[in-house]
């Protein structure tokens, strides 16, 4: 057992209380030092580095409001919609809790998308932070599952039919699809069994996995240290340090960045509360108007679309038509031919690539386009996991890459927003064509990254981080 630390009898009451706890729970105080007061973060963090803390804040908001909602919600197909109305109309402050939870769902994806974009432009997925990025992508995937299952719970028209459409997509998987869709639904149609399954996963199973991944993400980050806008390792073997061994280009996370994050949190909460009190539906993007109508299995809405944060992937799903399959086949064959021609490799490897391209072509021609749409939609998320091994640029940060890289990243963002907008709109010939081009660009951005990321002359990276006091 560790020895107790003595304290002066003349110490203040707060110091005595702190000493009492520290002697009896030293692990917590050691963790505080490792992850807060003695964790040195780069001193040149900018605006883009607030979204990780905001994501943690929104996670807490969702958990706390979810606990209060569960107290009054009934996971029963005959009672679910009525229980939500009861929360909104009769439970004291129930409307506020419900709007905090629904607005928090959208806020979560806003801050997570911005957090991931920061990692993209500053190379936060590069060595030695590959595992940090993989944990982050797993959090994103888990968050999508959590949001999808929670979306069914209000049991409104859009919730019901959205779940019906998405679950039916699994039936397109060859051989196991119908059984898999039946397993997910728990019945032959979306009904009471589906609602109970989604409720248990949304409230218990997925949040536990999500919390575990968040802890792993933070621990992995603090083990290797935070990245910064310059992409310079402040804790590397050659990094300058003071007499105590602390990096000269870093500052303790507490109090410097805790104050920084508290300011960001206050700004975020102003916007968050303004939306809750003045525009909780956000014009039908956060809460669709059809979801204020009880679910009716006999009446299909004129246009079924998921919530806005799923719509980029929904656009990619709808983009895969029988006609689009020929474009995908051309891309597969072209990529195989380019690899065989461009890269030096044994004849056996070339034969394997050529054979795989032929097999993929045969499969694409013989399996329904609906299945490939599901593959593309899932692949759009899964491909993010491989980003650390797709980027061949000699520098991490966008600051020191060729200027045209910035325009390419800008086009990528615009393309993603356009896909999100098209996913909300009713299907049209023009929208279908634009979404097909956008889908090809999205995958081309990542799959061709080993080629284009290495092009152009990089700017010299400074030995120390660029920092101006403010």
Question: Is 35 assigned to a binding site?
Answer: no
Question: Is 202 assigned to a binding site?
Answer: yes
Tokens at residue 228, please? 């910064």
Number of H helices, E strands in the chain: 18, 2
Three-class DSSP category at 9: coil
Query: Are the CB atoms for 374 and 169 separated by under 8 Å?
Result: yes
CA distance to 138, 159, 344, 381, per residue, from 142 (Å) = 6, 19, 39, 11
Query: Are the CB atoms for 219 and 112 separated by under 8 Å?
Result: no
Q: Which residue has the tokens 């403010």?
A: 470
Question: Is 246 assigned to a binding site?
Answer: no
Tokens at residue 208, please? 């536990």
Question: Is 115 assigned to a binding site?
Answer: yes
How does 407-416 read in b/e, with b if 16+ C-beta sit within 10 Å?
eebeebeebb
Q: At what angle do helices 177-185 and 157-170 cross, to 10 degrees?
A: 150
Tokens at residue 314, please? 């929904």
Q: At what angle do helices 258-278 and 94-122 cross, to 10 degrees?
A: 130
Helices (H), 258-402: 258-278, 311-319, 322-342, 347-366, 369-382
How many CA atoms are closer than 13 Å to the CA of 465, on its beta-carbon side?
A: 28
* R_g over Cα of the chain: 25
Q: Which residue has the tokens 């000699």?
A: 394
Q: Which residues are annotated as a binding site for heme b?
A: 101, 115, 202, 217
Q: Which residues are annotated as a binding site for a ubiquinone?
A: 222
Q: Which residues are annotated as a binding site?
A: 101, 115, 202, 217, 222
């Amino acid at each position: 057992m560790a020895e107790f630390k003595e304290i002066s009898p003349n110490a203040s009451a707060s110091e005595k209380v702190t000493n009492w706890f520290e002697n009896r729970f030293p692990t917590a105080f050691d963790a505080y030092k490792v992850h807060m007061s003695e964790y040195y973060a780069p001193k040149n963090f900018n605006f883009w580095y607030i979204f990780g803390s905001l994501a943690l804040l929104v996670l807490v908001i969702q958990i706390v409001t979810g606990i209060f909602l569960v107290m009054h919600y009934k996971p029963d197909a005959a009672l679910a919609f009525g229980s939500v109305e009861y929360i909104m109309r009769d439970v004291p402050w129930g409307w506020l809790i419900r709007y905090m939870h629904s607005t928090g769902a959208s806020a979560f994806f806003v801050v997570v998308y911005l957090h991931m974009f920061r990692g993209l432009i500053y190379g936060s997925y590069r060595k030695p932070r590959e595992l940090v990025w993989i944990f982050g992508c797993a959090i994103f995937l888990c968050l999508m599952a959590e949001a999808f299952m929670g979306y069914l719970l209000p049991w409104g028209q859009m919730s019901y039919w959205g779940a019906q459409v998405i679950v039916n997509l699994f039936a397109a998987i060859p051989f196991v699809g119908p059984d898999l869709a039946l397993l997910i639904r728990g019945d032959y149609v979306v009904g009471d069994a589906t609602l109970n399954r989604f409720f248990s996963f949304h409230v218990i199973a997925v949040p536990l996995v999500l919390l575990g991944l968040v802890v792993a993400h933070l621990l992995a980050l603090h083990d290797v240290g935070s990245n910064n806008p310059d992409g310079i390792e402040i804790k590397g073997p050659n990094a300058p340090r003071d007499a105590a061994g602390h990096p000269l280009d870093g500052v303790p996370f507490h109090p410097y960045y805790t104050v920084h994050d508290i300011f960001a949190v206050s700004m975020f909460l102003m916007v968050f509360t303004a939306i809750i009190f003045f525009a909780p539906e956000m014009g039908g993007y956060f809460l669709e108007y059809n979801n204020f109508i009880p679910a009716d299995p006999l009446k299909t809405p004129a246009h079924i679309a998921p919530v806005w944060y799923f719509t980029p992937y929904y656009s990619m799903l709808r983009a895969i038509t029988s006609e689009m399959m020929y474009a995908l086949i051309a891309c597969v064959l072209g990529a195989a031919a380019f690899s065989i021609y461009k890269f030096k490799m044994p004849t056996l490897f070339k034969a394997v690539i050529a054979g795989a391209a032929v097999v993929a072509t045969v499969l694409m021609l013989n399996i329904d386009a609906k299945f490939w749409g599901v593959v593309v939609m899932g692949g759009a998320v899964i491909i993010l996991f491989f980003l650390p091994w797709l980027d061949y640029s000699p520098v991490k940060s966008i600051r020191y890459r060729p200027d045209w890289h910035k325009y390419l990243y800008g086009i990528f963002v615009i393309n993603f927003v356009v896909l999100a907008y098209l996913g909300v709109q009713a299907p049209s010939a023009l929208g279908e064509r634009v979404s097909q081009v956008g889908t090809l660009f999205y995958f081309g951005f990542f799959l061709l990254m080993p080629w284009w990321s290495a092009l152009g002359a990089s700017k010299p990276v400074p030995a120390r981080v660029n920092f101006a006091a403010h």
